[in-house]
Chain A
Amino acid sequence: MIIDAHATVGFSLDDNRDMSAEFVLSLMDRVGIDKACITHTQCRFQDFVEGNSTTARVVREHPDRFIGFFGVNPARYLGVLDEVDRCLDELDLAALRIFNNEASFTSGWAAGVRGLMHERLFAKAMARKIPVYLDSGFPFSVVLSLARTYPRIKLIAAGVGYGNIAEAIIAVNGAPNLWLDIIALDIQDGVELLVKECGAEKLVFGSGMPLASPSSPLLMVKMADISQEDKDKILGGNLAGILGAGR
C-alpha cells in the first residue's frame, strides 16, 4: 500500500488552480497512491478551526483514501492549544502539520519554529502523543534540536534535497524519533544514499499533491536500487507505523 504523507486540499491563493479533494483523488488514482494525508490550506492564514473541520469532513467522506492532519497558526494565540484537543478528541485527526508560514509571512514578526508559541504547541503534541509533520524549509540543525527537545514526539521532516542532504543525514541519525519525508529529494540516487546512511526505516514518502508532481518522488523510490522490502517501507509501511493502528 502506498501512503502519501503530504497532500493539501483547499484554495490556491496565488495561482488559479484546482486544489479540491476530488482533484487530489483523481491524481491518486492516476499514479497509484492508495491513501494520502491531507491538510486544508485554510489552516495557514485563516480560521484554522473551520479549516480543520473541513479536513475532517473530507476524511469522513473518503475514509479509505484520506488521513487527516490538522494545522494551526501559532501566531493566532487565541484558541491554538484548545484546537489541538478538538482535532484529536472531536475530529479524530491523526497528526499535527507545521506549515512553514515563515516562507510566506515575511514581515519579520514570525518567530520561527523555535518560537515560544511553537514551544507550547510541541509540548502539547508530546503530551497528547501525536506525530508532528514539519513542512520543508526548516534547517535540519533546527529539526534535530526539536527532535531532541521533544523526544517522545514522532517527528517527520520534509525538505531534504541535494543542497542539504548532508545536514538531513546527520539530523536523522541523531534522533531516534525523527523521520525524513523524501518529498523534495532530488539528488542523483538520493534514495539509495539515504537508505545506506540512515536506513529505509527512517524514510517516508510524500508527494506535495496537488501542487507538485506526485510521480517524481514515486519514481525516485520505485526506480531506486534498493530491495522491494525497503521500497514498501518507504512508500507506506513506515508511515503506517508512525500513525498507528486504525489509520
Chain B
Amino acid sequence: MIIDCHAHLGWWFFPIRQESASDVAPIMDKWGIDKAVFSSVRAIMEDCRDANSRLADQITAYPGRMYGYITLNPHYPDVWRRDLETYAGDVRFVGVKLHAAWHSCPIDSKPYAPIFKRCEELHLPVLAHSYDPTSDTMSASAPERLANVARDYDVQIVMGHMGGNPLRGIRACAACGPNLSLEISAGRENAGQMYAWDLLRIRRALDALGPERVLFGSDMPLVDPAICFGAVRDSNLTPHEEELVMWRNAERIFGLSG
C-alpha cells in the first residue's frame, strides 16, 4: 500500500501536461500509488472562490483513490468559512491545505488563527506548505512558525517538504508534540540548496522523531514521483519504517482506512 499525501490537480505555469484527475491517475498507476490526497493548484495560486468545488468535481470519479484537501486562503474569510463548512463532512475531503507563502501571510499570524481553531473543532488535519525562509515571502511558511501553531492548537499538522531545509524541519518538529509531522516531497532544483534533496534527510528524520512522524508525499504532478521514490529507496528503511512512512501514518492522520 502507498498513500501519497501531497499531490495537486490543476494548471501549472510550467510545461506539465497532466492537469485533470484522469491525467494524473496513470501516474498513480505507474508508481503503484494506491491513494493520494490532492489540493487545487488554482486555490493556491489564483482564485479560491470556485477552486475547491472544481477539485470536488474532479475527484468524484475516483472514490477511495483520490481525496481532496480543502485549500483555504486566509484573506477571504467568507470563502474559507463557506468551503470549510461545505466540505468538512464530505467523504471526498480529508484535510485542509494551507500555503502561507503563496498567500503571503505568516502561518502563525492572526488571519490563520480562526482557521486552525475551526480545524481543531472539526478534527481536520492540515497539510501546510513549508520551505526554507530565504526570502520574506517564504518566511511566512517557515518550519519554526509551523511549530508555533502546532503548540497552540490540537490539530494534526503535516509540514510539507520537511520545511525545505530538513535539519530545520526536524528541529522544529522535535520541539513540538506528536501533532507535527514531516512530509518528504522536495524538488531537486535550486543549486546551493541541496539540502532540500539531501540523501540523509529521511533517515535523519526517522532517527530523530521516530517513524510515526514521517509521511510519504510526491508533490505530483509538479514533481515526478521518481524523486521521492528514489529518496525513500536510498534511505534504507526497515520494513516497519516503510509501512509507516509509505501509508500507515497517512491512513491514521487522514482517516483513510475506509
Nearest-CB distance from B114 to chain A (Å)? 34
**A162 B194 Cβ-Cβ under 8 A:** no
A184 to B189, CA, bound (A): 5
Bound-state Cα–Cα, A136 to B30, Å: 29
Give A160 to B188 CA distance when docked, in angstroms.
9
Q: Which of chain B's residues has its CB closest to A134's CB?
A: B191
Q: How far, in angstroms, from A217 to B229 measured CA to CA in the complex?
A: 10
Cβ–Cβ < 8 Å partners of B191 in chain A: 100, 103, 135-137, 158-159, 184
Q: A214 with B234: in contact, given A137-B191, A219-B229 (CB under 8 Å)?
A: yes
Given contacts A187-B14, A212-B199, A215-B231, contact A104 B226 (CB under 8 A): no
In whole Å, how far is A224's beta carbon from the nearest beta carbon of chain B?
8
Contact A220 B198 (CB under 8 A): no
- A187's partner among B194, B198, B223, B228 (CB-CB below 8 A) is B223
Quick one: CB contact mask for B124-141 with A, threshold 8 Å, 1 for yes? 000000000000000000
B219-258 with Cβ < 8 A to chain A: 220-224, 226-231, 233-235
Number of residues in B with C-beta < 8 Å to the partner? 35
Choice from A100, A166, A185, A210 contacting B188 with Cβ under 8 Å = A185
A217-B189 contact, Cβ under 8 Å, with A188-B16, A211-B198: no
Q: Is the CB of A162 within 8 A of B226?
A: no
B240 to chain A, nearest CB (A): 21
Q: Does A163 contact B (CB under 8 A)?
A: yes
Flag whether B45 is at the interface (Cβ < 8 A).
Answer: no
Q: Any chain B CB within 8 A of the CB of A90?
A: no
**Cross-chain contact B227 with A220 (CB below 8 angstroms):** yes
Contacts A188-B220, A210-B199 given: A216-B226 contact, CB under 8 Å?
Answer: yes
**B167 contacts A by Cβ under 8 Å:** yes
Give chain A nearest CB distance to B209 CB in angstroms: 18
Q: Which residues of A contact B167 (CB under 8 A)?
A: 15
A209 close to chain B: CB less than 8 A:
yes
| Pick from A166, A187, A211: contact of B224, CB under 8 Å | A187
Interface members, chain A 156-210 (any B CB < 8 Å):
158-166, 183-190, 193, 208-210
The 8 A CB mask of B188-201 against A (1 = contact, 0 = none) is 11111011011110
Q: Which residues of A contact B181 (CB under 8 A)?
A: none
**B230 lies within 8 A of A163 (CB):** no
- For residue A111, CB closer than 8 A to chain B, the reply is no
Complex contact B189–A163 (CB within 8 A)? yes
Question: Which A residues are in CB contact (< 8 Å) with B222?
Answer: 162, 187-188
Tell me if B187 is interfacial: C-beta within 8 Å of chain A. yes
- A112 CB to closest chain B CB, in angstroms? 14
> In chain A, residues 210-244, which have Cβ atoms closer than 8 Å to a Cβ of chain B?
210-220, 223
Q: How far is the CB of B214 from chain A (nearest CB, A)?
A: 15
Q: Is A127 an interface residue (CB 8 A)?
A: no
Interface: B18 (CB within 8 A)? yes
State whether B30 touches A223 (Cβ < 8 A): yes
Residues from chain A with a CB closer than 8 A to the CB of B27 are 188
Nearest CB in chain B: distance from A36 CB, A: 14
Question: Does B17 belong to the interface (CB within 8 Å)?
Answer: yes
State in angstroms the CA–CA spacing of A30 and B236 once bound together.
Answer: 10
Distance of A171 Cα from B230 Cα, bound (Å) = 28
Say yes or no: B223 contacts A215, CB within 8 Å: no
Q: How far is the CB of B20 from chain A (nearest CB, A)?
A: 13
Instruction: Please state if B189 and A186 are interface contacts (CB–CB under 8 Å).
Output: yes
B194 touches A186 (CB 8 A): no
- Contact: B223 with A184, CB < 8 Å? no
On chain A, the residues within 8 Å of B194 by CB distance are 208, 211-212
Q: With both chains docked as a complex, state the minimum distance between the C-beta of B162 and any C-beta of chain A, in angstroms.
A: 13
Which residues of A, 98-156, contact B by the 8 Å Cβ criterion? 100, 103-104, 135-137
Bound: A187/B18 CA distance, A: 11
Known contacts A162-B223, A219-B229: A186-B192 contact under CB 8 Å = no
Answer yes or no: B63 CB below 8 A from chain A CBs.
Answer: no
A1 within 8 A of B: no
Supply 9 A–B pairs (Cβ within 8 Å), ascending by A: A31-B234, A136-B190, A187-B15, A211-B199, A212-B197, A215-B233, A216-B188, A216-B234, A220-B224
If A161-B189, A189-B18, A217-B188 are given as contacts, then 18 extra A-B residue pairs at C-beta distance below 8 Å, sorted by A number, are: A31-B234, A136-B190, A159-B191, A162-B223, A165-B14, A184-B188, A187-B14, A187-B223, A188-B18, A188-B223, A188-B224, A189-B16, A190-B224, A212-B188, A213-B197, A217-B230, A218-B230, A219-B230
